Structure 1
Amino acid sequence: MYPVRRCSSLIHRDLAALCISSPASAPKHKLYPLSLHCVSRCGVSSTEPITSRPSSSLQVCHLGSSISNVRLFGSMSQSLSSVPLERTHTDVEECDLEQVNPETLLRKCEEVLRTRPPRPHRDFIRTRASAKHNPQIRVMQWNILAQALGEGKDGFVRCPIEALNWAERKYLILEEILTYRPDIVCLQEVDHYYDTFQPVMFSLGYQSSFCPKPRSPCLDVCGNNGPDGCALFFSRDRFRLLHIHHLRLSAVALKTNQVAVVATLQCQVTGQVFCVAVTHLKARSGWETFRGAQGANLLQQLKSILSAQQEEAVPFFVCGDFNAEPCEEVYRHFLNSPLGLDSAYRTLSNDGITEPPFTSWKIRPSGESRSTLDYVWYTRHGFSVDAVLSMPSEEQIGPDRLPSYNYPSDHLSLVCDFSFTQEPHRLM
């Protein structure tokens, strides 16, 4: 067993520096993290099936003074109050946070994680030569494991509870993102959006949108940090937001607890427009038909969004934890969709049509589960797959499987490099 991580005294000093007095309307004995007050929680109710708001309506909040890098690092050592979020709907937010050098923050992560074993080494496997005229888009898909579920409900019997300590596990998550530097990040099971991911990712140059589940299982866990949901992050330098939609998926005409975030983006360099969606379908065996209906509904809503924007030919990505093996109906829905979709990780196989043997590997009281559940779908007419991040070996994962001291989630991240198939029609 590996030793439990202890944060440095510097981190604890930063934690104290980041706490400020509560607003007048709150109990005076409470302290609130500074990063929480930078959040603008305007939005449209998540109970509506489709919501849209153009980027021009984004609200910007100001803290009155810039936040130093030291304080930003310290904000990652914070946890939000155990009180659930006042609202269960959100949209894209911006905060006046000081920008941080990614290399500097990556070194900080490595410092905090110095007594943990290193993450599994993974190489990019190039599938084709990238076009010089067409800048690549790097996309990450990852179910990061909600903190409340990891500690309170999922029952990872071979994972020491110390390995799931949020004070360190969040650094492992951020280290994974910083290592691969994706332009677009699609995350599921995010229950620390406001106090960690939104402010930290914004400081790294990402704009974001978060859609919580209407009835998140995280809320059943004592001491939870609010509902989990899907979060979409994209580089502000690379892309301009045109439209954002929060979807609540349906099955057999019934609204379900699963959601999706869909963004229409425009490349700042080439002017090309595309969509990206992030979703998380219903889990567990016995729900295969239900997942199939959710997937069909998501495809229909995507088609409606493109049609409403008069952009039916716009290419798109759909990233998510589908909780479905390739043999399931929902996989066939996507593969055979008239929208012309393909799964990026099929390019890793010798035949070009086989998915990886696993994207999730865990041990619960019911037994060991080794499954392929996560996918990066893309439109064949719009994108080419230039490279994909390899999957770690069984030896790298280790006998206790995931999560562990050296990997923060029970799902592996998927990372792909794409290029537009069409040459840019104009430069911005």
Structure 2
Amino acid sequence: MSRRAAMASTAPRARLSTPAPAAHPPRKRGRSPPATGSTVSWRASAENAAPVDHRRRWHNPERAPGRAWQQFRAPQSALPSSRRWVFSEDASTSSGDACTIMSYNILADYNARNHPDLYWDVPLDAMRWDSRRRLIIREIRHWDPDLVCLQEVDRFQEIAAGMKSRGYEGIFQRRTGDTRDGCAMFWKSKRLRLLEEDSIDFSEFNLRNNVAQICVFELNGTYKLVLGNIHVLFNPKRGDVKLGQIRMLLEKANALAEKWNGIPIVLAGDFNSTPDSAIYEFLTTMKLNISLHDRRQLSGLDNSEFDLYELYSLLKYQWSDEEVRNATGCSNVMVAEHPLKLRSSYAMLKRNSNNRGLHGEPLATSYHKKFLGTVDYLWHTRGLECSRVLDTLPIGTLRRTRGLPTREIGSDHLPIVAEFVFTEPVEDDSDEEDESEHDDKSEQEVRKSQHIYLSLDSGSP
């Protein structure tokens, strides 16, 4: 894809606040999308609300033969009505100092309608946005998180309308260019107060048109934390861009935490990288020597039939100056680094062999025709302990659905949820082993694939 020139945004960031009850205005025609290249934030209001198109239906734009039979086939297997909490054996929750955070890629309506090949086995009614929206809102309300980080949001006003009655405020940051989706955050206004709001438009750094949100919240007037929300670039071949986006998020989150006297950090989102990938290694060990990796395999989403990682000790991969600069921030530096000692909330808790992999991460947080695996995470720094996580579904259960969404799940991702408890800051970390010093070759030898890669369209954005 051609690189889009970065453009500074002049559009004000918008905030959703619970409005006073008012009579419903007449339905208005939806506004045209903003001009290409602008970063857009939205304010939820009646005049900005896009009308629901009841005529919309799931279709195959290319009218591929064989599609019509789908509506007559047997329905998807039903999923369990609930998921279970997995509790930490160490962390103890005292009243008032716990905060529950959800990360959820809700599958943008625009993306679902323009990638029918990914949802070939999904019933027609399960793909309709009005049905998926109700399921998404119902799921969020059921788990009742204090903070919600959403990705692939292209109908923010409709999601926001479903959140207002539960006491949530929200903000939205749209991607730049000709895309329609973005990231959104919601928080319970009775428990949390937004102290500072920031975002990253990665197109300003020639790192594609993705965006990230970074905010500072105060819980119950006492505890503070930084919350980051990101949807990393999908394209498996552009590992340099993926790494650069993540590195920039970590650096900016750290700077904001230091500004507020070293408060703890939680990073949520769809990182489009699997637990057995080099990018996951970068997140957990604080550094990555990119010369030992092929950029097309950094995220673990490449379907190569070769295990080139076995040759890491003998082979140096070729990176252009631009790719190195994207990945590490400097064209003559081959080691990407970040300043945060991160822990994965799911990996830190007790494992279940039915739905956890080698690293302790879920075996799958996303499932469609071409991918079954884990790409969604909730990371945190010191100052917080993870007291419980909402376990995912077993692989066998997911396989029986033949793909998400279903009539019970509104997206092709499962929401992940963790409860965090604020702890006293730790003065000295010297007793911990510095994982960043481990041997790269040994790390590669012990890796086992946690995800099932079926195939990928490398041309996808």
TM-score for the superposition, normalised by structure 2:
0.64
Contact kept, 8 Å, 1:280 with 1:321, in 2: the verdict is: yes
Contact kept, 8 Å, 1:230 with 1:260, in 2: the verdict is: yes
- Greater CA deviation, 278-287 or 84-93? 84-93
- 1:150 to partner: Cα distance: 0.9
* Corresponding residue of 1:24: none
Structure 2 counterpart SS, 1:303:
helix
**Structure number with bigger Rg:** 2
Deviations, residues 342-365 of structure 1 (Å, cap 9, x unaligned): 1111124279942111111111xx
Contact kept, 8 Å, 1:319 with 1:376, in 2: the verdict is: yes
Deviations, residues 20-50 of structure 1 (Å, cap 9, x unaligned): xxxxxxxxxxxxxxxxxxxxxxxxxx94499
Structure 2 residue 86 is matched with structure 1 residue 137 = no
Contact kept, 8 Å, 1:94 with 1:207, in 2: the verdict is: no
Deviations, residues 388-414 of structure 1 (Å, cap 9, x unaligned): 111112343324121222211111110
Distance in 2 (alpha carbons) for counterparts of 1:59 and 1:124:
30
**Corresponding letter in the other structure for 2:342:** L
Equivalent residues in 2 for 1:185-224 (5 A)? 185-194=148-157, 196-217=158-179
Q: 2:411 aligns with which of 398, 409, 412?
A: 409
Contact kept, 8 Å, 2:9 with 2:39, in 1: the verdict is: no
Distance in 2 (alpha carbons) for counterparts of 1:92 and 1:304:
26
Structure 2 residue 229 is matched with structure 1 residue 278 = yes
* Cα RMSD for the two superposed structures: 3.5
Distance in 1 (alpha carbons) for counterparts of 2:131 and 2:172:
23
Deviations, residues 185-222 of structure 1 (Å, cap 9, x unaligned): 0000001102x1223312321111111110254xxxxx
Q: 1:153 aligns with which of 89, 92, 115?
A: 115
Distance in 2 (alpha carbons) for counterparts of 1:273 and 1:61:
23
Q: 1:183 aligns with which of 146, 154, 160?
A: 146
* Corresponding residue of 1:108: none
Structure 2 residue 259 is matched with structure 1 residue 304 = no
Contact kept, 8 Å, 2:102 with 2:415, in 1: the verdict is: yes
Contact kept, 8 Å, 1:289 with 1:329, in 2: the verdict is: no
Distance in 1 (alpha carbons) for counterparts of 2:44 and 2:269:
24
Equivalent residues in 2 for 1:285-324 (5 A)? 285-307=236-258, 310-324=259-273
Distance in 2 (alpha carbons) for counterparts of 1:410 and 1:130:
33
Deviations, residues 239-293 of structure 1 (Å, cap 9, x unaligned): 1111001211369x52421101111011125x11111011000103222232112
TM-score for the superposition, normalised by structure 1:
0.68
Q: Structure 1 pair 157/268, CA: closer, same or farther in 2 (3 Å)?
A: same
Which 5+ residue runs of structure 1 have no aligned equivalent?
A: 1-45, 97-114, 218-226, 424-428
- 1:94 to partner: Cα distance: 6.7
Q: Structure 1 pair 416/80, CA: closer, same or farther in 2 (3 Å)?
A: farther
Contact kept, 8 Å, 1:239 with 1:266, in 2: the verdict is: yes
Q: Structure 1 pair 322/216, CA: closer, same or farther in 2 (3 Å)?
A: farther
Distance in 2 (alpha carbons) for counterparts of 1:89 and 1:294:
17
* Corresponding residue of 2:193: 240
- 1:333 to partner: Cα distance: 2.5
Distance in 2 (alpha carbons) for counterparts of 1:180 and 1:59:
21
Deviations, residues 312-369 of structure 1 (Å, cap 9, x unaligned): 5110111010110123333222212332111111124279942111111111xxxx42
- Greater CA deviation, 171-180 or 87-96? 87-96
More strand by share: 1
Question: Taking every aligned residue pair, what percent have the same amino acid on both sides?
Answer: 25
- 1:311 to partner: Cα distance: 2.2
Q: How many residues align?
A: 331
Q: 2:211 aligns with which of 244, 256, 259?
A: 259
Structure 1 counterpart SS, 2:164:
helix
Structure 2 counterpart SS, 1:274:
strand
Q: Structure 1 pair 215/399, CA: closer, same or farther in 2 (3 Å)?
A: same
